[in-house]
Structure 1
C-alpha cells in the first residue's frame, strides 16, 4: 500500500470503545461522522446530519437490519439509512455521505475526501 494514502486516514477512537449496535459521533477535520460497529464487528461511517431535519443526530439512531442490509433509523422521524451505501430506504431520492472506515492496530480510522 502507498504510504501517502495512509496520511488521509484519521484515527478516531479505539475499536473496543465502540459498542456493538451503537453509534458515536466524531469530528474528522471539519466533517461530522457517525460511526457504527455492527454485531458482527463490521465498521460503518456515514454523515451524521439527518437530511430531513438538518439535525446532527444519526449517530444516536437505532441500528438494525432491513432485508440483510445493515441500517440506522434516524432518532427524529425514523427514516432508515443503509449503512453501506447511505441510501435512505424510505425515500430513494435522499442519501447521506458514506466514508471509508477501517480498524488498524486496535484503532478505528476514517478517511474523508
Structure 2
C-alpha cells in the first residue's frame, strides 16, 4: 500500500540550481544516503546512493541516460543501470535499490524517506 505524499516527512536537500541538468547529488535523508537526479530542466528523481554490489555510496556520480523508454543512471563501479522511477536494476534485479518521492517546494528540492 502506498503512502499519500501529503503524509510523508519531507526534507529539503538543496535548491534546483544546485543540481545541473542530467547530473546527481547526494544527501542524507532520515539516515539514508540518497542520490537525487535532475533530468533535463524539470524532472527530479531519487534513489539509494549506495551501490548494492559494492556497498559504496556512489550512485549520485553515475551517468544519467535512457535505455529504451527508461530513464536510468549507470553506477560508476559496476555499470549496473538503475531505473530512476522505481530503482529497478535492469541487469540484475536482485541489486535493485529503493526509490524515494521527490517534490519541489518553490526552488527547494525535497525528498521523503521512510
Q: TM-score, normalised by structure 1?
A: 0.91
Deviation at 1:40, TM superposition (A): 4.5
- What aligned pairs does 1:44-55 form with structure 2 within 5 A after superposition? 44-55=45-56
Task: Find the aligned partners of 2:82 and 2:29 in 1 and give their Cα distance.
Answer: 21
Deviation at 1:68, TM superposition (A): 1.8
- What aligned pairs does 1:50-61 form with structure 2 within 5 A after superposition? 50-61=51-62
Match of 1:11 in 2: 12
* RMSD, aligned α-carbons: 1.5
Number of residue equivalences: 110
Task: Find the aligned partners of 2:94 and 2:41 in 1 and give their Cα distance.
Answer: 29
Match of 2:25 in 1: 24
Match of 1:62 in 2: 63
Unaligned 5+ runs, structure 1:
none
Q: What secondary structure does 1:93 align onto?
A: helix
Match of 2:88 in 1: 87
Q: Tell me which stretches of 4 or more aligned residues in structure 1 moved more than 3 Å.
A: none
Task: Find the aligned partners of 1:47 and 1:92 in 2 and give their Cα distance.
Answer: 15
Unaligned 5+ runs, structure 2:
none
